[in-house]
Amino acid sequence: MIFQQIIAGIITGALYAIVALGLVIAYKVTGVMNFAYGYMGMISAYIFFTCFSVIGMNYIFAFLISVAFGAFVSYAVERGLLRPVRNISPASMVIITLGLLLLLEGIALQVWGNNYQQIPNLLNGLPLILKFSGGIIVIPQQNLLILGLVTGVIIALILYLNLTFQGKAMRAVAQNEEVSKLMGINSSLMMSISWIISGAIGSLAAVLVAPQTFVYPDMMLSLQIMGFTAAVLGGFESIPGSIIGGISIGVIENLVGTYISTNLKTTFSLAIIVAILLIKPEGLLGSAKARRV
């Protein structure tokens, strides 16, 4: 029983972790905390719904289109809306992304209405069943898909940022934009790339979670809140931080939901997280040093 819950928690946590990653990568490179992040993903989920359920496209094809669309929206938002005003205060920047959140919510309502739209799982076969002395664990195929894709994305991102020249250059921009220019790094291009990656990740998360949440304008709200919380819990710094933050929250949530209270699941989980933050205000893996604003 407890293993089943931990596995379920890891899968939820994996989604929190990639949302956290998407937020952190955009924040580290451009200094913008994107409060509209989940809502940008939500638009991609609607694109998927339109391609797959309305037009009748192939599942994989619709999936790729919606992720590419999300990447493009993210690029356009950063380049067209945020870049021109990047010198305003961080607080104002947050409010601009809140404005964007309202705008995207409105667009979704206007275009697709406020009905809950259903999209099917990609994999509906028999669940994976693991039997061992302590009991059995059942994992639906869609969850295996989520776990596989999330792991794949995380590994790809780690390899990109640590092994490729471009990825390292992006980290250089995040650490010191001015000096990176002196090296000949096109920091403006790196910022765009970081948002493209972030947008693609957000769309991926939205399409993966959509079969459970249904597609509607606020579908990503809880994922966004928990992703943001995971990023903060991880110290808003690094990939490992986001992963640890996300998985911990997912597991805490599932255990609390099973053993303490189903109704107050979120309340207790958040209380635990707040307690952690109060004991360690810089997050689990964060450092106390001044960070980029």
Helix (H, G, I), strand (E, B) or coil at 283: coil
Q: Which residues contact 84 (CB under 8 A, 6 or more apart)?
A: none
Show contacts with other proteins in window 254-283 (CB under 8 A): 263-264, 266-267, 270-271, 273-274, 277-278, 281, 283
Please select the residue that binds other proteins; options are 157, 219, 232, 251, rule is CB under 8 A.
232
Radius of gyration, alpha carbons of the chain: 19
What single-letter amino acid sits at 98? L
Our CB check for other proteins shows the closer of 4 and 266 to be 266
Residue 165 binding other proteins, by CB under 8 A: yes
Minimum CB separation from other proteins for residue 115, in Å?
Answer: 14
Helix (H, G, I), strand (E, B) or coil at 117: strand
Q: 32, 43, 35: which is closest to 82 by C-alpha?
A: 32
**Stretch near other proteins under the rule CB under 8 A, chosen from 137-145, 152-160, 178-186, 195-203:** 178-186
| Distance from C-alpha of 258 to C-alpha of 102, rounded to nearest angstrom | 34
Minimum CB separation from other proteins for residue 101, in Å?
Answer: 7
Q: Contact 239/158 with Cβ under 8 angstroms?
A: yes
Residue 161 binding other proteins, by CB under 8 A: no
Our CB check for other proteins shows the closer of 203 and 229 to be 229
| Distance from C-alpha of 40 to C-alpha of 138, rounded to nearest angstrom | 32
Residue 229 binding other proteins, by CB under 8 A: yes
Residue 117 β-bridge partners:
215
| Distance from C-alpha of 293 to C-alpha of 291, rounded to nearest angstrom | 6
Show contacts with other proteins in window 33-92 (CB under 8 A): 33, 81, 85, 88, 91-92
Which stretches of the chain bind other proteins, using CB under 8 A? 33, 81, 85, 88, 91-92, 95-96, 98-107, 109-110, 165, 168-169, 171-172, 175-176, 178-187, 221, 225, 228-229, 232-233, 236, 263-264, 266-267, 270-271, 273-274, 277-278, 281, 283
